[in-house]
Structure 1
Amino acid sequence: MERQFPKNVKQIGNVSDSPRIYVEDYVETFLNQLEEQGREVTITAFLLGEKVQIEGEECIFVTGALQVKDSILEEIDPVITKEELETAKVESREYFHEMDIIGWFQTVPDRPLALSREMAKAHEKLMPEKNSLLILKGQEEELYFAYKFKELMEIGGHYIFYEKNPDMQSYMIRERRQIGVTPSEVVEDRAAKDFRSTIKGRMEVREQRRESRYVYLTSVLLVVIVLAIGISTMNNYDKMNSVQNSIETLSSNMGANGSSGKNAQNNQDTQETQSQETQSQDAQNSDEQSDQQIAEQNGQGDQGENAGGTDEASQETNGGTTPDPSTIQEELQGSSEDYYVVQKGDTLDLISKKLYGTTSETDAICRMNGLKDGNLIFIGQKLLLP
C-alpha cells in the first residue's frame, strides 16, 4: 500500500528541513526508555523503516528499533561496527517484516549532546546511503541527523505519528526483561488513549467556565458594594451640610439679637439634637437599603450558578462517549502471563486480588500500563502484568 502523509501526528521542533522524518509512537517510546536507562552508560540501537517520496517530498518513516546486544558500554565515544550491523540485519528478519535498516541511535550520557568525529566516520563507512539517519539522545535532549551531500546534517525537527505497529509492539514485550525497562505505554490501546484525552479536555473546559463564572460574580458583588457605600456617603454629606447651615444661621441670629442670646442658645441645642437624631435615622435606613440590595444581588448570583451547574451536568451526561471495542489494538502476541484482558465487572483492585491474592499490586499495574486514573479501564482492554 502506497504511503500517504499521516493525519494523526505531533510536531516536534522546526520541520521545514528536508527530508521529513516521521517516527512511530511505539518507536519514540522505546527510544525514550533506552535514553532513561543510558544516562550513565552508552546504549546503541538500529532504526528500521522505509524511505519514500510523497507528493514530491522526501520522507523517512521510522517504524522499528532494534537494540544492539551487549551495547551497554562505558566508552566515551563508542560507535557501531560492521559485525553489529550484520547481526542486526539477521535479527530484524525475525522481529520485523518488510523493514530495512535506515539508521542508528545512541545515547550520550554525562556530557553535552554533540556529534563526534568518530560517529561521523562510522556512519559514513557503514551507512553511506542518502538520507540515512542518526539519532542522539541524552540529558533530556535529542538531535536528529540525515546523511546528505556526503556528510551528516542536523535536521531541526520531526513528527511523531500514530498507527498500528504490531511488530514493534511484540518486540518491546519480548525484550522488556532483557533491557531492564518497564514500559509505561508499551501496549496502551489507542482507543483508551483517545478516550482519556477526551475526558481531560472536557474537564479543562469545565474548569475554565467555572473560574469565569466566579470572576463574574465577584465583580458584580464588588460593584454593588461600591455603589452602596457611595450612596450612603452622599446622604451623610447632605445631612452634614444641613447641620452646618443650621449652625451658621443660629450663630448669625445670636449676633444680631444679643438680648435673646440665652434663648437662641437653647434653640440651637434643640435643633442640633433633632438634626443628629434625623441623621442617625437616615443613616440606619440607608444601611438597611444597602443590605437589601446586596442580598438581592447574592440571590441572583446563586440562581445563575445553579443554572450554570445544571447546564454543565447536562452537557457532561450527553457528551460522554464509550470507546468502541472494534477500535482496540490487535491482540498482543506473547504468552498469556504477559498480559490480562479486562472482563465485565473488573476493577484494578479486583484484578490484583484475582491474580496475586492481594490488592497491593494495584499501583504496580497502574505504573506498568501508564494509567494515571485506575478507574479508566474498559472491557476488552489488555493490561501488562508486573
Structure 2
Amino acid sequence: MEKQFPKNVRQIGNVCDSPKIYVEDYVDTFLNQLCDKTDEEPKGAFLIGETGKVEDQDCVYISGAVRISEIVKNENQLNLAEAAVEAGMKDCKEYFGNQSLVGWFLIDPSRKPGTDEALEKIHKTYFGEENTVFIMKDPKGREEKFYAYKYEELMEINGHYIYYEKNPEMQNYMISSRKENRITPSESIADRAAKDFRSIVKAKLEKADQKQNNRFLYAASTFLLLVILIIGVTMVNNYDKIKAVQTSLDQITKTVEKAEGEEEAQASGEKVTTEVEEGTDVKSSSEDTLDIQEQETSGGEEYYVVQRGDTLATISRKVYGDTSYVDAIARMNGLTNGDFIYIGQKLLLP
C-alpha cells in the first residue's frame, strides 16, 4: 500500500521546502526531555524512521529516537564515539526492528543551533544518504534548526510537521530508558502545545467512533425491521403472530431511541474514553468488557496500561490507594488534560 501523508498534523514554521519532515509526537517529547536534562556536556540521539516519496514529494518520517550514549568533545570539536554508534545501532534494532537511521539530533550548550565543518563531517560519515536529517536545539528548547542532507551538504529546512499516531515502539523505549536518561516524576514537558494537540485529535477520533457505532446500529435495526415486516405480511391471518410482530417492532423502536439519546448525551458533553485507530475496525465485544487493572514492568520500570473507564484519579486510587498522585502521573507522561487518555495506553508510574 502506498504511503500517505499523515492526517493529524501540526505545522511548525514554513513547510514549503523539500523534503517534507514529519516528527512523531512521542519523538518530539523525547527530544524535549533531553533538552531539559542537558548539563554542560553535549547530548544527542539517533533518529529512526523512513524516507521516500508521497505524491511525488520527498518526505522523511521520524517515528523513533534512541539516545547517543557518548559524544566526544575535543577543543570545541565534536565527534561520535565508535562505541556509542554501536550501542545506538543495537538499541535501534532492539526497539524498532528493521527501521532505518534517518539522521541525528544534537544539543550542545556551548554553541547556538547551526552547522560547522565538524558537524558536516559527522553527518556525511554516518548519515550520508540523500534527505537524511540533522536537528539541533538549544538546551532550553527555545530555538531549533532542521537540516536535510542534499547535494552533499546540510541545507536548512525552514519548517516541519509534528504528527500524531499510536507509537508503542517509541513509548516502550522511553519507559525502558527512563533511569538512564534521568527522567523523573517532577519533570515538565517544554512543548505543551504538542500535548494539547494530542488531546484534540483523541477527542475527534472518539466522536468519529461513536458516530460509526450509531450508524451500524441504525442500519441493523432497519434491516431487522424489514425482515419482521415481511414475516408479518405472510402471517396477516394469524392474530397471535401479528401481536408478536408488533411487540418486536416496539422493542426495536425503543433500541433506536435509546441509541439516539446516547448520541445526544455525548454531543452535550458526556465524556467517553475509548481506543480508536484510524483505518481499523471497531473493537470486539470481548475487548469492550475489559475492565481489569493492568500494571506491568519493563526493564524494572513500572507502568500502567489504561483500561476502559479509567481516569488519572481512578488510576491513582487503584495503584496508590488515593488520588494524591494525579499530578505526578500527568507530569510523568506529559499530559496537560488527564481526561484524554485511551485504552491500551502505557502510563509511566512515579
TM-score of Structure 1 vs Structure 2, range by shorter chain = 0.5 to 0.7
CA contact (8 A) 2:48 2:63 kept: yes
Cα distance in 1 for residues equivalent to 2:336 and 2:167: 24
Alpha-carbon offset, residue 353 of structure 1: 4.8
Partner of 1:171: 173
- Which of 303, 319, 327 aligns to 2:268? It is 319
Q: Deviations over 1:109-168 (max 9, x none)?
A: 153222122111222233221112111011411111111111111111111111222111
What amino acid sits opposite 2:175 in the alignment? I
- Which of 135, 149, 152 aligns to 2:151? It is 149
More strand per residue: 2
Q: Deviations over 1:199-256 (max 9, x none)?
A: 9xxxxxxxxxxxxxxxxxxxxxxxxxxxxxxxxxxxxxxxxxxxxxxxxxxxxxxxxx
Q: Deviations over 1:167-192 (max 9, x none)?
A: 1111111111210124768xx89985
Partner of 1:385: 349
Partner of 1:27: 27
Unpaired runs of 5+ in structure 1?
200-314
What amino acid sits opposite 2:330 in the alignment? C
Partner of 1:3: 3
CA contact (8 A) 2:43 2:71 kept: yes
More helix per residue: 1
Cα distance in 1 for residues equivalent to 2:43 and 2:320: 34
Alpha-carbon offset, residue 104 of structure 1: 0.9
Q: Deviations over 1:67-123 (max 9, x none)?
A: 112449797442324443333223211111221111111102153222122111222
What amino acid sits opposite 1:8 in the alignment? N
Partner of 1:295: none
CA shift in 2, pair 1:4/1:108, >3 Å = same
SS for the counterpart of 2:7 is coil
Aligned residues: 269
Unpaired runs of 5+ in structure 2?
190-194, 207-263, 284-293
1:48 has 2:35 as partner: no
> Highest CA radius of gyration, 1 or 2?
1
Cα distance in 1 for residues equivalent to 2:295 and 2:2: 26
CA contact (8 A) 2:175 2:301 kept: no
Q: Deviations over 1:4-57 (max 9, x none)?
A: 111111111111111111111111111111112125331111111111111221
SS for the counterpart of 2:183 is coil
CA contact (8 A) 1:43 1:73 kept: no
Alpha-carbon offset, residue 363 of structure 1: 2.5
CA contact (8 A) 1:19 1:57 kept: yes
CA shift in 2, pair 1:128/1:371, >3 Å = closer
Partner of 2:236: none
Partner of 2:103: 103
1:370 has 2:327 as partner: no
CA-based RMSD of the aligned residues comes to 3.8
CA shift in 2, pair 1:39/1:316, >3 Å = farther
Q: Deviations over 1:313-345 (max 9, x none)?
A: xx9974325446232799998449722345678
- Which of 157, 160, 173 aligns to 1:158? It is 160
SS for the counterpart of 2:114 is coil
CA contact (8 A) 2:73 2:79 kept: no
Cα distance in 2 for residues equivalent to 1:352 and 1:31: 27
Identity score, percent? 45
Cα distance in 2 for residues equivalent to 1:160 and 1:45: 18
Cα distance in 2 for residues equivalent to 1:358 and 1:322: 22
Cα distance in 2 for residues equivalent to 1:95 and 1:104: 17
Cα distance in 2 for residues equivalent to 1:64 and 1:317: 35
Which range moves more in the overlay, 333-342 or 361-370? 333-342
